[in-house]
Structure 1
Amino acid sequence: MKVLLLNGSPHKNGCTYTALTEVANSLNDEGIETEIFWVSTKPLMSCTACLKCAEKGECAFDNDRVNEFVKKAYDADGFIFGSPVHYAAATGAITSFLGRAFYSNSNGDGSSAFKFKPAAMVASARRAGTTATYDQLNKFFGITQMPIISSFYWNMVHGNSPEEVRQDIEGLETMQQLGKNMAYFMKCIEAGREKGLTIEDKPKTRTNFIR
């Protein structure tokens, strides 16, 4: 089993990476393979609703790492998405990244890189805005039928540098428990699958508020 961790910070080895590394180490201790994937600092297009992904099976914009991430996502069994707090919200980069990744990942055959796979988000901040960021990114999982994994506190760390994050003992312990909880639920899902348990994916009727 493998967990793919997305680092949505412009700093490849900064505070968010430090938090994700703590989760990854905890997952590794539980026998789960991990990979930390960085969004990079290249400019990222937001989704333009061109709908070309329905034809191509991937996002039409291929000058960044979104399609590369989605290809890896098909082989992952769980996800951790990390973002620093910018103006009490997730970064513009990870928001654009996830908007395109989640919208374009279906191949038109009903398959999905994310559906039914457990996910969690991690926020890092110097001081505040973490819970707003936590709520914001969890919405990607809630609309994609992904079990949302929590810890014994909201998934956040505090610090203005990796060194300061390492002094946030409660934050680090929250990351460690998050890794253990993720491993537990992944093993439960695997055990259920071995018993032949499946989830019925009912068809969805799309409506708006006037019909």
Structure 2
Amino acid sequence: MKVVAFNGSPKKEGNTYEAIKLVAEQLEKENIEVEIIQTGSKKILGCTACNSCFKMRNERCIIDDEVNEWIQKMKEADGIIFGSPVHFASITATMKAFLDRSTYVGSANGGLYRHKAGAGITAVRRAGGLPAYHQLINYIGYSEMLMPTSNYWNVIFGQKPGEAVQDDEGVQIMRVLGKNMAYLLKLKELGEGKIEKPEPEKKVYKNLV
């Protein structure tokens, strides 16, 4: 089994990375491979609402950059982690651009991430951790992913790189999340071929005007 984790921080080894590593340690203890992809330092354009992904349905965004590679990474993985620092009570602009486009492509192609295990985590200096965390799990819910939880919301505190590991409660939150994610992945593996999956339904669109 494999989990792919996206680090939405401009800092390659800042506190978001530390949080992801804490989760990854627990997954790796259960022989689950984890690949961390640095997204926050890339130049990623936002969705242009061209709807080309729905016209072509080829599992690609018409903007040909790293996002198309990451879409395939998510498609092939059993679990996905989205990590972001907090910028003005929000996830980073790069992370949002990536998630807007990859989630839309996933939807256009029959739900590429449906029933995968998905988790969101945020690293924050002081405030805004929960709004940013809620942004991340919006994409998980939209994609019909299965979300493991921890014993609190997945937010860890720290300003300078490395300070997050001093947040004892945050460290525990990430550790428990990793254990629960590993447990969920194992349950899914045991159920494959034994429990019938619900059939996907075609999306209903209804405007309120």
| Inter-partner Cα distance in structure 1 for 2:144 and 2:42 | 30
Matches within 5 A, 1:34-183: 34-54=34-54, 55=56, 56-63=58-65, 65-105=66-106, 108=109, 110=110, 112-183=111-182
Deviations 1:39-75 (A, max 9, x none): 1423221100112223143011113x21111111111
In structure 2, stretches of 5+ residues that fail to align are none
- Specify the SS of the correspondent of 1:119: strand
TM-score (norm 1): 0.93
Letter in 2 for 1:3: V
TM-score (norm 2): 0.93
Deviations 1:140-164 (A, max 9, x none): 1111111222100111110112331
- Specify the SS of the correspondent of 1:139: helix
| Inter-partner Cα distance in structure 1 for 2:147 and 2:60 | 25
| Residue 2 (structure 2) aligns with | 2
| Inter-partner Cα distance in structure 1 for 2:156 and 2:40 | 21
How many equivalent pairs are there? 207
| Inter-partner Cα distance in structure 1 for 2:91 and 2:5 | 16
| Residue 17 (structure 2) aligns with | 17
1:4·1:35 contact (CA, 8 Å) conserved in 2?
yes
Letter in 2 for 1:145: E
1:57·1:106 contact (CA, 8 Å) conserved in 2?
no
* RMSD (Å) for aligned C-alpha atoms: 1.5
- Specify the SS of the correspondent of 2:103: helix
| Inter-partner Cα distance in structure 1 for 2:193 and 2:112 | 20
| Inter-partner Cα distance in structure 2 for 1:107 and 1:203 | 11
| Inter-partner Cα distance in structure 1 for 2:157 and 2:204 | 42
| Inter-partner Cα distance in structure 2 for 1:129 and 1:18 | 19
Letter in 1 for 2:197: T
| Inter-partner Cα distance in structure 1 for 2:119 and 2:59 | 25
Overall identity of the aligned pairs, in %: 42
